[in-house]
């Protein structure tokens, strides 16, 4: 999958997003992060997009359908001339799988934050090590490299397990236990940290790449103009 990365100008105004869910199932949560105006702190919003989990909605976790929220997100990005940025092509694949009718519009706006990160790695010599699943270019590796600090870190299996356990209790018609709800809250916090980390890595890598390009241009010697023959005075 060949998805372009954002430009620095695009990244500064982008809407960063991250889905959470179980493999092979529709996403349960969508987190989005953006800056409304230059200089302001990023704004974060979370939606529970799985109908079976609507009872877990709250003032900070708004219930919405997946298609409805995606239409709203695409419409806002188009009106405000913003792009949508996620880490790798994962978010795009989710839209293609679960809302294929919205995939073309989503793809036209989507940018891959991993693309500038990999270019930054080549520039700086940073070579992330592979994890247990043979993945090298993970967000976790780059966020450490740029100095982003998480409050709490969960693995992918833990995230899916938190959703599975809460969903299982609700499907059985019982109230999720305090322990399961605590895991759910940690998953939500991790989703927010993913969005913030993606933004931090994207801006840092693009700013460094832009600075390097500026230095390269200024160091390049100017080509001398060819000397033309002077015209003889009449």
Give the number of other CB atoms < 10 A from CB of residue 149: 9
| Lowest pLDDT segment from 35-39, 42-46, 57-61 | 35-39
The structural domain count of the chain equals: 1
pLDDT in tens, 194-231: 999 999 999 999 999 999 877 656 556 655 555 555 55
Instruction: From 2, 145, 6, 1, select the one nearest 86 (Cα to Cα).
Output: 6
Q: What is the pTM of this model?
A: 0.87
Alpha-carbon torsion 158, 25, 110, 70, what sign?
A: negative
| Structural domain containing residue 49 | 8-213
CA distance 129 to 146: 15
Instruction: Tell me what pLDDT residue 234 has.
Output: 47
189 burial class (0-12, 13-18, 19+ CB within 10 angstroms)? middle
CA 144 to chain centre: 16
Question: For position 187, which CATH number holds?
Answer: 3.30.420
- Is residue 203 domain-resident? yes
Both tokens assigned to 174: 């019982």
**Pair of tokens at residue 105:** 């519009």
């Amino acid at each position: 999958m060949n998805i372009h990365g954002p430009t620095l100008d695009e990244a500064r105004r982008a809407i960063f997003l991250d889905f959470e869910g179980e493999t092979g199932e529709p996403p349960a949560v969508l987190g989005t992060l953006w800056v409304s105006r230059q200089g302001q702190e990023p704004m974060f919003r979370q939606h529970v997009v799985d109908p079976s989990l609507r009872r877990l909605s709250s003032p900070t976790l708004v219930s919405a359908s997946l298609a409805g929220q995606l239409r709203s997100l695409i419409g806002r990005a188009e009106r405000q001339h913003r792009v949508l940025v996620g880490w790798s092509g994962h978010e795009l694949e989710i839209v293609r799988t679960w809302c294929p009718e919205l995939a073309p519009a989503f793809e036209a706006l989507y940018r891959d934050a991993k693309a500038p990160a990999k270019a930054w790695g080549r520039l700086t010599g940073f070579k992330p090590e592979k994890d247990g699943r043979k993945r090298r270019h993970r967000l976790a590796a780059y966020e450490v490299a740029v100095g982003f600090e998480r409050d709490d870190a969960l693995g992918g299996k833990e995230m899916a397990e938190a959703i599975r356990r809460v969903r299982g209790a609700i499907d059985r018609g019982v109230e999720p236990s305090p322990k399961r709800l605590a895991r759910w809250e940690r998953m939500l916090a991790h989703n927010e940290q993913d969005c913030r980390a993606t933004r931090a890595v994207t801006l840092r890598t693009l700013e460094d790449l832009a600075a390097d390009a500026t230095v390269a241009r200024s160091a390049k010697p100017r080509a001398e103009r060819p000397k033309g023959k002077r015209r003889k005075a009449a």
